[in-house]
Amino acid sequence: MAPAGTEKRTGKTRKSPKKAPVKKGSSSPAHEYDESKIKTLSSLEHIRLRTGMYIGRLGDGSNLDDGIYVLLKEVVDNSIDEFIMNHGNKIVIEIKGSRVKVRDYGRGIPLGKVIECVSIINTGAKYNDDVFQFSVGLNGVGTKAVNALSSLFRVVSFREGRYFEGVFSRGVLKSKKEGPTAKEPNGTYVEFEPDEEIFENFTFNPEYVEQRLWNYAYLNAGLTLYFNKQKFESKRGLYDLLFSEVGNTTIYDICHYKGNYLEFAFTHTANYGETYFSFVNGQYTSDGGTHQAAFREGILKGVNEYFKKNYAGQDVREGIAGVVSVKLKSPVFESQTKNNLGNTEIRSDIVSEVKSAVVDFLHRNHGTAKRLEEKIVNNEKLRKELNTVRKEAKEAAKKIALKIPNLKDCKYHLFDSNGRGELSTIFITEGQSASGSMVSCRDVYTQAIFSLRGKPQNVYGRKKTDIYKNEELYNMMMALGIENDIENLRYGRIVIATDADYDGYHIRNLLLTFFLNYFEELVVAGRLYILETPLFRVRNKKETRYCYTNKERDHALQEIRGPEITRFKGLGEISPKEFGQFIGEDIRLIEVNIRSIKYIRETLDFYMGKNTPKRRDFIMENLV
């Protein structure tokens, strides 16, 4: 999931609250600490007050990780758990406007416990291994959070010719009924509408829903999902998932293995770096964890055993694209949003099983084994060449400065033991003028700033060694901590912050090309963002509004009398006092994501390659 604090907000008026006068020598009533300040919240109140603890970001539906998709996921996860336990192989999802409907054909919730299962935290059958052996929702919160955060929540359970229905609003039971139903097969039906008091101005994006449903299909071969009459199913599981990502860009046929509790697939492409998609009980673990690390180690050991060599891990894995899924009875995640698996006891078993499967695959596919070995040998050659260039770049950098030029660092970093590093952000800006306001108003503990000197080089089509010969790009890599190994990334988020003009957009595209070309795994992992800053300031003596679009500006002009309008073309035009809110609580970040890594080359070639006539025609046809 995206880090908290990235939800979008509208350009509304913000006024400073009036403060009550405080006499010298006395304490403010607001800061008194007595019995009246101690509060006990019900689970319902806590979910609504601390929403981010349960579903991560809020958002408006414009990002794949926005809260409304998490609500959908929590409901569908329960249906998936039924399929995993061999009960029901069909799930029907329907979304019309803000109304979501999900029907599965599993066992159905026990009729006498329907109300408790959707409204009381820590209630459910998933604590019983005899009923649910492999489940994502082991904390008993998921559906309860959906209920609490929905203006309408309706659940109906069908079991053995009878039904029980409960209707809620914002977690409060409004009605219930039960009776016979001879025609309905067993299963559970859930209908909900996200509460607009929590999720402002949201819209479901069908493409994001489809992306999630395809993942469900790939991870559960034999399951069929229907969404607005579209069918989602997979015959080959993770093989199909990986092929959907890499397409025909593979160097050799995909290696696919499926055991009782472990399934994986991998291949190599001509791309740089390593790209992985990992899952636990169907849950996407965007930050990997023990299972992904063991998967990587198992591939290395299997390759070395088959070839009877001692190849370096980076040579074996450079250019790899892989997906791994495990089923665990008691998964331990680092957070409620389940981004990283922490179970250490599973590592050796996964390494051993992956190793054996890789050796077996290579023995059965000699042509593939030969192409893999050629790839590894070529990777080894390129690494040695790259190491020489890296060494020269380091020596040159030492002669220039002891510190990284143009970097204003922060205190906490991604891998610090203090636990705050995940929240750290580095802003990449264009020039000292653009970064001036940001330096003055940033949070020095978690926000760093790196200033580019002019436009970076267009690196599309260049070898990786070339970026180490470019002083500006090398300085940026040192600032990020990725000049030697991407695992040394120093910040939780990399944010491109450029001016809202043609030069700014060009620099943004050049930076996107750099990351997509050489460090696509950072993009896949959800580390790369674009900062949105207001285009207009509309104000009079009484109020000020910051507008991010022409539509917001026009709306503000209709409501504010006698306004003064300022158009912000550059970040340097925004004063530090104003800029603070745009990288603080009101920050707007657009996550850079890609539908599939197989389209990266094609997209970069079109926008950044040498096809000038085609690109010119495209611009002319789409010019607004």
In the chain, what are the domain boundaries?
Answer: 54-232, 238-383, 405-525+569-622, 536-567
pLDDT at position 496 is 95
Q: Are 80 and 71 in contact (CB under 8 A)?
A: no
Q: Categorize the per-residue pLDDT at 128 as very low, low, confident or very high, splitting at 50, 70 and 90.
A: very low
Give the pLDDT band of residue 139 (cuts 50, 70, 90): very low
CATH class of 405-525+569-622: alpha beta
Going by pLDDT thresholds of 50, 70 and 90, the confidence category of residue 24 is very low
Please state which CATH number belongs to domain 54-232: 3.30.565.10
- What pLDDT sits at residue 337? 53
CA–CA separation, 269 vs 267, rounded Å? 7
pLDDT of 541 higher than 80:
yes
Binning pLDDT at 50, 70 and 90, where does residue 418 land? low
Question: Picking from 129-138, 336-345, 459-468, 507-516, which range would have the lowest pLDDT averaged per residue?
Answer: 129-138
pLDDT value for 240: 95
The pLDDT of residue 336 is: 52
Q: What is the pLDDT of residue 536?
A: 92
Q: What mean pLDDT is predicted for residues 497-515?
A: 88
The mean-pLDDT minimum among 52-56, 245-249, 358-362, 462-466 falls in: 52-56
Helices (H), 442-560: 464-468, 471-480, 502-518, 520-524, 550-559
Beta strand pairing call for 187-194 and 99-104: antiparallel
Q: Kindly state the tokens that stand for 191.
A: 């209908």
Query: For position 447, what pLDDT does the model report?
Result: 94
The pLDDT tens digits for 401-416 are: 557 878 999 988 887 6
What is the per-residue pLDDT for 349? 93
In this predicted model, which residue has the larger pLDDT, 56 or 541? Answer: 541
Position with higher pLDDT, 31 vs 552: 552
Stretch among 152-161, 346-355, 600-609 having the lowest mean pLDDT? 600-609
Q: Rg of the Cα trace of the chain?
A: 27
pLDDT of amino acid 500 = 81
**Does position 550 have pLDDT exceeding 80, yes or no?**
yes
The Cα–Cα gap between 126 and 129 comes to: 7
pLDDT, averaged across the chain: 83
With bands split at pLDDT 50, 70 and 90, how would you rate the model's confidence at 127? very low
Q: What is the mean pLDDT of residues 434-457?
A: 88
C-alpha 163/C-alpha 177 separation (Å) is 8
For 114-123, 255-264, 497-506, which range has the lowest pLDDT when averaged over its residues?
114-123
* Residue 149 to residue 58: CA distance in whole angstroms: 11
The pLDDT value given to residue 26: 46
323 vs 134 pLDDT, higher one: 323
Mutual angle of helices 471-480 and 366-400, in 10-degree steps: 100
pLDDT confidence bin for 122, thresholds 50/70/90: low
What CATH class is the domain 238-383?
A: alpha beta
Tens-digit pLDDT profile for residues 185-198 = 999 999 999 989 88
pLDDT at 124 exceeding the cut of 80: no
Whether residue 3 contacts residue 446, with contact meaning beta carbons closer than 8 Å, is answered with no
More confident site: 456 or 294 = 294
349: helix, strand or coil:
helix
Q: Which two tokens stand for residue 291?
A: 């299972």
pLDDT, one tens digit per residue, over 186-230 is 999 999 999 898 888 899 999 899 988 999 999 998 999 999 889
pLDDT (tens digit per residue) in 40-51 = 556 677 777 777
Q: Which two tokens stand for residue 335?
A: 């957070």
Distance (Å, whole) CA 137 – CA 383: 43
* Integer angstrom CA distances of residue 249 from 237, 252, 316, 594: 19, 9, 18, 16
